[in-house]
Structure 1
Amino acid sequence: MRAILLACLLCLTGLAAAAQDLQSLLQENAEEIGDPSRRTIAEALAPVVDSGLPQVTEFLERYAARELWQRPEDGLFFYAEESDDGLTLIDIDTGEPVGSSTSREMNNIRVNAGVRGVINSALVQFQLSDPDAARRNAALDAIARSPEPEHLEPLLGSIEEEPSPAIRTRKERLAAILTARFGENTEARIAAIESFAGDTTLDVRGALSQILTTSDEVAETLPEGENIARERDLTREEAYAVLVAEGLAPPRVSDADIARALEANIADGMVGGLPVATLGDPDERIRAYEALAETGTVPPFVAEEEVDAALDAHVFYAAYDEPDEEVTDAARAALAAIEFRVAAYQFIDIALDALSLASIYFLAAIGLAITFGVMGVINMAHGEFIMMGAYTGYVVQQIVPDYTLSLVIALPLAFAVTFGAGVLMERLVIRWLYHRPLETLLATFGISIALQQIAKNIFGTQARPLTSPAWLGGEFSINDIIAISNIRIAIFVLAAVFLVLILLLLNRTRIGLEVRAVTQNPGMAASMGINPGRINMLTFGLGSGIAGIAGVAIGLYAQVTSEMGANYIVQSFMTVVVGGVGNVWGTLAGAGLIGILQKGIEWFNPSNTLAAQTYMILFIILFIQFRPKGIVALKGRAAGD
């Protein structure tokens, strides 16, 4: 008896094993799987998908990738590896080689895009629970690219057992998006839509936009029960063209068409029963054409009254593709709130860009503010001191490969190099040209050209890289709209540090007191024992040194070339003049105004930055007409000089 029971158990075990055979399941619908079509493949794959066999995932992947072969003589399916000798056949259940064949003896099953979409949809439920996190993420990517109603149930079913918190959050979010579009009932869909409050990501906005897609319709009256979005605002010509396209009205005949039709039907000096000589009158031409139309020779003539009657008899409207009015109302309200938030975020993003640009202009201009504002020297070579600082940073990086250490070395070294160059320039050239602005402008312009040529001779005309440290790479992102690069943040911090240092230098040190004294009244300062020549030399050197540090900062994100300084000299002068000559706070205000103005103009015309700069210059010219001394004007005697 025991032997009989054991034999029965073995028999049942064998039957169970056979039932778990993928090849057997495929043979149930071998014809549909071997010659797949979008209409039949889903039903053919249903037993395979429902079996839950571990080898189903690989099968579906290879099936979609056109790696499945069928042997015509017995209809069995195999994977195959191509070799010089032909094909090595691989069993789809065990994954082991089971023989060889040639490509002529086997049929490679090629699936089209429609069939592949059905296979991928079936594959999703296996990939969502795959032990490999990369496969689960890939499945989520596939769903996000092409969401289908069939994806919702397996996605919801995979959330509970998801081990990764990050992937679980992503699944829940994607499930909410699919529920909003394909949920079973109105309440669930509205709840999913309301859960998007404050979410400004593109996929959420895209899902809501999909719910709110409309189709243009025309009817005699607005249909009851249809989810109407709005009535369409069309011109008379556009509306009648819609009626013609829908076959609801005959096409209109133009004057040129009438003339051609009449000319083609002239017989014995008559056309449409009227003499040709009378056709000079437009009304007669229409009568002749209508006569031809009555005989069926030409298309019918449509009078203006008929056009008006046809338009009055129809309404033109846009209807939501989504039939549920409650769902579209919720989606419309959610999208409006999100778009308002997006607009606010875009404003903040532009403001951050403007602040970043203002910090760059401030760094570039603060040195010029000191030399131009304090000394009254129009230094056209100021941009070349920025260029010298950038090249100093480049040279340091060639010697010190550690980018962080090289940056720490380059900043003070650039200050020292450009400070020395500024002192040398002041002693050799500028000191002989005080109070002679035209000669100063021409001399510094010549020095500017000479320094550019020297840089070309040393470094060549090709742009040189000034690489930022790894910790300055990337960006600080608040959301998918507001983001600012770490380099821009570092430049902003550097500008703030320089603002504090310069204010401390000018207001809390003896040299600062002497500089302010020389600025306000050089003669009185000299009578008090201050050497104006020494102060001018140090002031010019200080302004040049700051320009060198600005060059290192700017070179971290801009190209380092011999002409890079020319890109900032105009903005630097504008910053100083608009802000107020000789005033650090004025330079800060000028940099802020120009940065905001330029970014604002670029927002209206983002494809043309040259036009933005042109409009900005025109605005500044007008601004100076009304406030010639700048935003923060000097007070006291210095203001009258």
Structure 2
Amino acid sequence: MLRILYVLIAAVIALVPVHAQEADLNTLLEIHRAKIEKPSRTTIDPVLEELVASRLPGVAVFLEKWREKEVWQRNADGRFFFVGEADDGKLRLIDVDTGLQAGLADKSELKNLKPNSGVRGVIAAALVQFQLSDPDPERRLQALTALERDANQSHLSILRAAIEEETDPAIKIRKKRLQRLLTIKFGSDQATRVAAIKSFAGDPGVDARAALNPLLATSVAVFDAAPEGVNVAKLLKPGRDIDMAAAYQLLVDAGKARSAVPLSERKQALVDNIQDGAVAGMPVSSLVTQADRDKAYLALAAAGTVPPLVTVDEQSEAVTSHVFAQVYAEPDPALTTAARETLADIGNTVGIYQFLDLVLDSLSLASIYFLAAIGLAITFGVMGVINMAHGEFIMIGAYTGYVVQQIIPDYTVSIIVALPLAFAVAFLAGVALERLVIRHLAHRPLETLLATFGISIALQQIAKNIFGTQARPLTSPSWLDGAWVYNDVVSISYIRIAIFVLALVFLGLLLFILNRTRLGLEVRAVTQNPRMASSMGINPDRINMLTFGLGSGIAGIAGVAIGLFAKVTSELGSGYIVQSFMTVVVGGVGNIWGTLAGAGMIGSLQKVIEFFNPSNTLAAQTYMIIFIIIFIQFRPKGIIALKGRAAGD
């Protein structure tokens, strides 16, 4: 009995090395050595399946290294290694199992394995199951991104298993979504695929529509009778749903009708068969009309000289004796019905979100127009001055921001400094313009308009002389990069949000100044009745100067804001002067709330027109101007008219 026990123990000891050897990665690689040395897309799959099924800890690293062409093979024994640089110029061998150093070798003693792009793609697909369960969340996200770009049926079961192990809630949600998308395409049974399709009802994601649209792909097919055994999307009536010529060509392609002889070939056949100035006994001079030429061709066809002509009646008879239909590429009607209903529901949701996105775009554009026009509204309302140089104060503010960024490289700090500095520079420029020009042209609107127009051109030329004609960058801080994305339909850039907030801040600040300060009281008094304000001890000249400077300073701040997303050039302001005047006139001269309403109307109108005609912004501006002209005919004082004795002036 004891003797038998010794024999069993010896047998177990003898078997242990064999099992250890079977669990060795190098041994497994040696078994498939020939296929690894010369891999192809058709031969590598069994190797990868066995490597993955082995569950050996070094498989994932080996596959990654192999994909990246970092696996080497020793010529002497065919053993596989990773390598590193050694101090003496040799390559340091690294064991693929343990990751430990396994000696040194010259490069000539090794062969670098470089699989082609097709094999690397297959290896990458096999790596997914390791990456989806990787401890590093970033690697799991990378694997999901790779699957979203290119997945196959084998990945579906791998993804389902990875969902159960996922601990990160956000990544788990993304995995479940991808699993539903793959189920639509690769699901094994109808009920599961239909459930996955219906789960995306009302989902505006582009990936959902990309997964559903292929199910509704159709092609036109021709049948001898009512189609059976196919998923028909729509029966087509020749002459209404499909052109007669196209329908007959389908019959020809399907081998159900004779090919029609093209007109060019018939003409060439007549030319080739001219004998003694006649074709088939008909003089060439008599072949004037197409009917005569067809008659000659039919005569040649009757003689067997040319292919027979397919008449219109023959084509019509052939078409009407067959059935034409749009046929789904997906044979299961339940799937196409579910996809069609789900896409219709998604379309309704996308429409709602497109409207919301349009509202956000309109608010964004309105805030820009408000900032650009509010200064003009104040000066125009108080002084009645048509300042054609207002756009150049916007340009001055933008260039001020650019200069500040050349001095202060920190973009956040530079913007904080640039905003008040742009206000100060533009304020002083406005005061100088009012003192030197505007004051001397009081109550002379035509001369004021011409003078400010000339100053506008002069300021643009000065800017070109100083900064050149090339656009200058005004870079936004990094925290303003990118956009707030709600879904695949609704998004808005952070710069636009910042400008919207800035417009709200200035709206509140101006309301406070005009309603809660002595300056505001005097401005409102001069706006409504300058003579009465003067008799009450208010100096209209001083108020005009400060008001013009305030309006110019606000335009300078608007220039910094606009320069963050537009090109800073000498013509920057001229692109907003027309919209600024339209905003002021439509909203109501001299009224902040009117300017706000006008900016909202102009911005919304422009975005709506651009939505229906996105490829032609010039047409959008033209339609907008026409609308404003019509609007002014019915409400000449604007949306919110000025109150007071001066309102009727």
Whole-angstrom distance in 2 between the partners of 1:143 and 1:169: 15
**1:443 shift after superposition:** 1.6
**1:365 shift after superposition:** 0.6
Whole-angstrom distance in 2 between the partners of 1:406 and 1:112: 48
- Equivalent residue for 2:486? 478
Letter in structure 2 aligned against 1:42: D
Q: 1:466 to 1:281 in 2, by over 3 A?
A: closer
- Equivalent residue for 2:425? 417
- Equivalent residue for 1:343? 351
Matched-pair contact (CA < 8 Å) for 2:390–2:552: yes
Q: 1:197 aligns with which of 183, 192, 201?
A: 201
Q: Alignment identity in percent?
A: 62
**1:397 shift after superposition:** 4.4
**1:352 shift after superposition:** 0.8
Whole-angstrom distance in 2 between the partners of 1:467 and 1:281: 71
**1:19 shift after superposition:** 2.0
Which whole-Å deviations, capped at 9, do the CAs of 1:237-280 have from their partners, x for residues lacking one? 22223323333322223444323212312346664466767655
Farther-moved stretch of structure 1 (8-17 vs 161-170)? 161-170
**1:401 shift after superposition:** 5.1
Q: 1:10 to 1:458 in 2, by over 3 A?
A: same
**1:305 shift after superposition:** 0.8
Farther-moved stretch of structure 1 (568-577 vs 602-611)? 602-611
Task: State how 1:150-229 maps to structure 2 within 5 Å.
Answer: 150-229=154-233
Q: 1:385 to 1:102 in 2, by over 3 A?
A: closer
Farther-moved stretch of structure 1 (214-223 vs 83-92)? 83-92
- Equivalent residue for 1:385? 393
Letter in structure 2 aligned against 1:187: A
Matched-pair contact (CA < 8 Å) for 1:87–1:103: no
- Equivalent residue for 2:637? 629
Q: 1:112 to 1:618 in 2, by over 3 A?
A: same
- Equivalent residue for 1:324? 332
Matched-pair contact (CA < 8 Å) for 1:127–1:139: yes
Whole-angstrom distance in 2 between the partners of 1:79 and 1:392: 61
Whole-angstrom distance in 1 between the partners of 2:179 and 2:61: 25
Farther-moved stretch of structure 1 (222-231 vs 454-463)? 454-463
Q: 2:10 aligns with which of 2, 7, 17?
A: 7
Task: State how 1:35-54 maps to structure 2 within 5 Å.
Answer: 35-43=38-46, 45-54=48-57
Letter in structure 2 aligned against 1:338: I
Whole-angstrom distance in 1 between the partners of 2:444 and 2:361: 39
Q: 1:458 to 1:73 in 2, by over 3 A?
A: closer
Which whole-Å deviations, capped at 9, do the CAs of 1:454-474 have from their partners, x for residues lacking one? 444444444444444444443
**1:100 shift after superposition:** 5.8
- Equivalent residue for 1:427? 435
Q: 1:405 to 1:61 in 2, by over 3 A?
A: closer
Which whole-Å deviations, capped at 9, do the CAs of 1:339-381 have from their partners, x for residues lacking one? 2212221221122111111111111111111111221111112
Whole-angstrom distance in 2 between the partners of 1:288 and 1:469: 80
- Equivalent residue for 2:548? 540
Secondary structure at the aligned position of 1:215 is classed as strand
Which whole-Å deviations, capped at 9, do the CAs of 1:186-213 have from their partners, x for residues lacking one? 2211222222233222222211123323
Matched-pair contact (CA < 8 Å) for 1:269–1:275: yes
- Equivalent residue for 1:253? 261
Q: 2:534 aligns with which of 514, 517, 526?
A: 526
Task: State how 1:578-589 maps to structure 2 within 5 Å.
Answer: 578-589=586-597
**1:489 shift after superposition:** 1.8
**1:300 shift after superposition:** 2.1
Task: State how 1:563-582 maps to structure 2 within 5 Å.
Answer: 563-582=571-590
Whole-angstrom distance in 1 between the partners of 2:222 and 2:69: 45
Matched-pair contact (CA < 8 Å) for 2:93–2:105: yes
Q: 1:123 aligns with which of 123, 127, 130?
A: 127
Farther-moved stretch of structure 1 (576-585 vs 386-395)? 386-395
Matched-pair contact (CA < 8 Å) for 1:368–1:572: yes
Letter in structure 2 aligned against 1:481: V
Structure 1 residues not aligned, in runs of 5+: none
Whole-angstrom distance in 1 between the partners of 2:263 and 2:334: 50
Task: State how 1:274-313 maps to structure 2 within 5 Å.
Answer: 279=287, 285-294=293-302, 296-313=304-321
Q: 1:85 to 1:217 in 2, by over 3 A?
A: farther
Matched-pair contact (CA < 8 Å) for 2:397–2:557: yes
- Equivalent residue for 1:363? 371
- Equivalent residue for 2:511? 503
Farther-moved stretch of structure 1 (553-562 vs 321-330)? 553-562
Matched-pair contact (CA < 8 Å) for 1:66–1:111: no
Whole-angstrom distance in 1 between the partners of 2:292 and 2:495: 78
Secondary structure at the aligned position of 2:222 is classed as strand
Q: 1:140 aligns with which of 137, 144, 148?
A: 144
Q: 1:291 to 1:58 in 2, by over 3 A?
A: farther
Task: State how 1:548-567 maps to structure 2 within 5 Å.
Answer: 548-567=556-575
Matched-pair contact (CA < 8 Å) for 1:159–1:172: yes
Farther-moved stretch of structure 1 (126-135 vs 147-156)? 126-135
- The size of the alignment, in residue pairs, is 639
Matched-pair contact (CA < 8 Å) for 2:522–2:538: yes
Q: 2:19 aligns with which of 16, 30, 44?
A: 16
Whole-angstrom distance in 1 between the partners of 2:128 and 2:391: 59
Q: 1:299 to 1:138 in 2, by over 3 A?
A: farther
Letter in structure 1 aligned against 2:336: T
- Equivalent residue for 1:516? 524
Matched-pair contact (CA < 8 Å) for 2:418–2:560: yes
Letter in structure 2 aligned against 1:583: N
Q: 1:596 to 1:455 in 2, by over 3 A?
A: same
Secondary structure at the aligned position of 2:614 is classed as coil
Whole-angstrom distance in 1 between the partners of 2:558 and 2:52: 64
Matched-pair contact (CA < 8 Å) for 1:467–1:556: yes
Farther-moved stretch of structure 1 (270-279 vs 302-311)? 270-279
Secondary structure at the aligned position of 2:165 is classed as coil
Secondary structure at the aligned position of 1:160 is classed as helix
Matched-pair contact (CA < 8 Å) for 1:68–1:77: no
Whole-angstrom distance in 2 between the partners of 1:498 and 1:281: 78
Q: 1:405 to 1:54 in 2, by over 3 A?
A: closer
Secondary structure at the aligned position of 2:637 is classed as coil
- Equivalent residue for 1:78? 80
Letter in structure 2 aligned against 1:78: F
Q: 1:295 to 1:52 in 2, by over 3 A?
A: farther
Letter in structure 1 aligned against 2:645: R
Q: 1:489 aligns with which of 486, 489, 497?
A: 497
Whole-angstrom distance in 2 between the partners of 1:18 and 1:480: 53
**1:35 shift after superposition:** 4.7
Letter in structure 2 aligned against 1:216: V
Farther-moved stretch of structure 1 (263-272 vs 358-367)? 263-272
Whole-angstrom distance in 1 between the partners of 2:285 and 2:379: 89
Q: 1:275 to 1:15 in 2, by over 3 A?
A: same
**1:163 shift after superposition:** 3.3
TM-score after normalising by structure 1: 0.89
Whole-angstrom distance in 2 between the partners of 1:270 and 1:303: 23
Matched-pair contact (CA < 8 Å) for 2:586–2:639: yes
Whole-angstrom distance in 2 between the partners of 1:456 and 1:274: 78
**1:440 shift after superposition:** 0.6
Matched-pair contact (CA < 8 Å) for 2:231–2:327: yes
Q: 1:487 to 1:120 in 2, by over 3 A?
A: closer
Letter in structure 1 aligned against 2:432: L
